[in-house]
Structure 1
């Protein structure tokens, strides 16, 4: 059994580890090219590449998997199975057809909901109460292949994209551990997706990060935690971006009548209270332009922001 593993971020590392722990022969790892990171733009390997090199596994980093040379390189590894997890590139049919056991993907949602590159962000932002991981056969479409196995994970108010990322990463790896023996023994029966129920979750764009204070406090709360700790939701104040890292779950109290959405109602050590289109929201961690993220108790020391200030103008 020759397995080629394809993955890129931290999310994929536990799945690679499971393959190694279970004694499968991972003959190669395919991951995205090294990218510059940080203010100094240091060329940095992907987390999956770092893990592969620890175990002496050959690493291949194609810029585009659809190129002939990339397809030829993967074919030379003669995979019996290809396992992917957050790889970040489409696989052409020529690659999908290579392994006799097919290509399977560890996807961080309960398909067919949240197909695409940002399923965790979108599930939280949409206010879902649960999500999960689906292991599916890969097809030429975006996460459209038949489903092999699933596991559900609740979404709590205290969750954000960071905490859920870690939870789904671990759950996905364990689901892979349980699924592979039956798959390789021919004991699984894949289920086609109901495409009419499909929901897309494209990569987050800059315009998706902007807070719309005319929405309800609950919607904005979900928006903030769905974008934390990356890429982080923001509003504007004094003509500059003002990032919002965290807020408390909103209660049932409504905003004072006549207050424009985005109006600062109060500023205390306990938080920055903002009027929303429906209700009010208490922000607890913010980041003014040019500064680091900080709790509101620190932000309020010496700030010019006062009750009555309107954010987002």
Structure 2
């Protein structure tokens, strides 16, 4: 009798609809950590992880085992950020690559108060990506594969991984709380740009943090500008722009209205990334006004003309942001990155004539004004919702503030860094009195 060859079955990574991914995983009895069963599970987890080139970590439920275990690739410790803020792996010899890290019965014991929106994907939620608010630093306690109890701190990417994988063990997927979730399969223009469009010669005009986020996302999609103009105060290099013979100009929060002769200079004219759902909130301060409640958060790609945010729309999308509203810098980053991600594929379609323009309805247009320093002044007994939104909208500049008369009758300017609405009333939480360091509102009141 001829025996059939036995082929080892490939360990499958379960996808988001698998019931086991929604269960709270069980702890592993410490005495069983060294058992063949657990060691076999660890081997299968590593095997599954290493079949995915972009994977950095995996939790046991992702291979169908409802146990509190996750594995992190050792080379994560070699990751560095390049000049664009993107992660790259350092070139190391095989001997220097750290070993994979095993975490059994992990418990996050400390988290930093400071949090940041971090971009995430997941091997069990292919090919969705989004932003999740994570603590920048954490401390984790767990057993290793030998049953030894260890504790270590982490920051940046490793801290993010610890939180993501711990969520897996609690039946949570990143898409449960992520914002700006988008589908980016391998053949998506943002992950695999066609050579013809990635080699576009373009000039980028942008003079703000919003602009930087737009450009970072463009560059990560394979689009690199031939020239960057980042100051609206200096005269435009008109002759240089003519000589460059660019295919297209891209404008994102530049802070200066370009003359028609510049707008029409490139072959495919000039496109603009605007952080609102046009025709609503045209002008210089759409983000602040969106936070103030005058519009829905979103971004628009439009063909620029000589009027303010008036040209035809090529694409626009609302951007869900949670919690909402949020501080200016947070909203600015989310809208900037969303704008850059939207622009990549739109740019490709635009230069190949595969996109239709939509004329804006001027009857529906609204306009924003420049923010002035006095706009940040609040009255503590004013409308709670209005005050709270001003704190968030003006958190970058000019800062929301009150004029407080202390027990000595002296007026003190107090900048409100954060606030809340409690029992229907506006209440500052973190403040900075003139000439002093940041403190809680309670501490300030005790001394004044």
- Determine whether 1:97 maps to 2:296: no
Shift of 1:117: 1.4
TM-score normalized with structure 2 length = 0.51
- Determine whether 1:3 maps to 2:199: no
Gaps of 5+ in 1: 34-61, 253-279, 305-313
- Determine whether 1:148 maps to 2:314: yes
Cα RMSD after superposing both structures: 2.0
1:198-237 mapped onto 2 (5 Å cutoff):
198-213=365-380, 215-237=382-404
Q: Hey, what does 1:86 align to over in structure 2?
A: 253
Q: Secondary structure, in 3 states, of the residue corresponding to 1:14?
A: helix
Shift of 1:142: 1.2
Pick closer, same or farther for the CA change 1:169–1:19 going to 2, 3 Å. Answer: closer
Q: Secondary structure, in 3 states, of the residue corresponding to 1:291?
A: coil
Q: Hey, what does 1:243 align to over in structure 2?
A: 415
Q: Secondary structure, in 3 states, of the residue corresponding to 2:225?
A: strand
Q: Hey, what does 2:130 align to over in structure 1?
A: none
Distance 1:222 1:25 in 2: 37
Q: Hey, what does 1:64 align to over in structure 2?
A: 235
Pick closer, same or farther for the CA change 1:125–1:18 going to 2, 3 Å. Answer: closer
Question: Do 2:380 and 2:426's aligned partners in 1 also have CA atoms closer than 8 Å?
Answer: no
Shift of 1:251: 4.0
Shift of 1:24: 3.6
- Determine whether 1:112 maps to 2:256: no
Q: Which has the larger radius of gyration?
A: 2
Distance 2:325 2:263 in 1: 39
Q: Secondary structure, in 3 states, of the residue corresponding to 1:248?
A: strand
Distance 1:107 1:96 in 2: 16
TM-score normalized with structure 1 length = 0.72
Question: Do 2:399 and 2:417's aligned partners in 1 also have CA atoms closer than 8 Å?
Answer: yes
- Determine whether 1:283 maps to 2:283: no
Given candidates 212, 231, 248, the residue that maps to 1:13 is 212
Q: Hey, what does 2:447 align to over in structure 1?
A: 303
Pick closer, same or farther for the CA change 1:229–1:298 going to 2, 3 Å. Answer: farther
Distance 1:139 1:5 in 2: 16
Distance 2:382 2:280 in 1: 23
Q: Which has the higher contact order (CA 8 A, sep 6+)?
A: 1
Q: Secondary structure, in 3 states, of the residue corresponding to 1:192?
A: coil
Q: Hey, what does 2:438 align to over in structure 1?
A: 293
Question: Do 1:6 and 1:31's aligned partners in 2 also have CA atoms closer than 8 Å?
Answer: yes
Shift of 1:29: 0.9
Gaps of 5+ in 2: 1-199, 406-410
Query: Residues 169-209 of structure 1: CA distance to partner in whole angstroms, max 9, x if unpaired?
Result: 11111111221121121111111111122221222111211
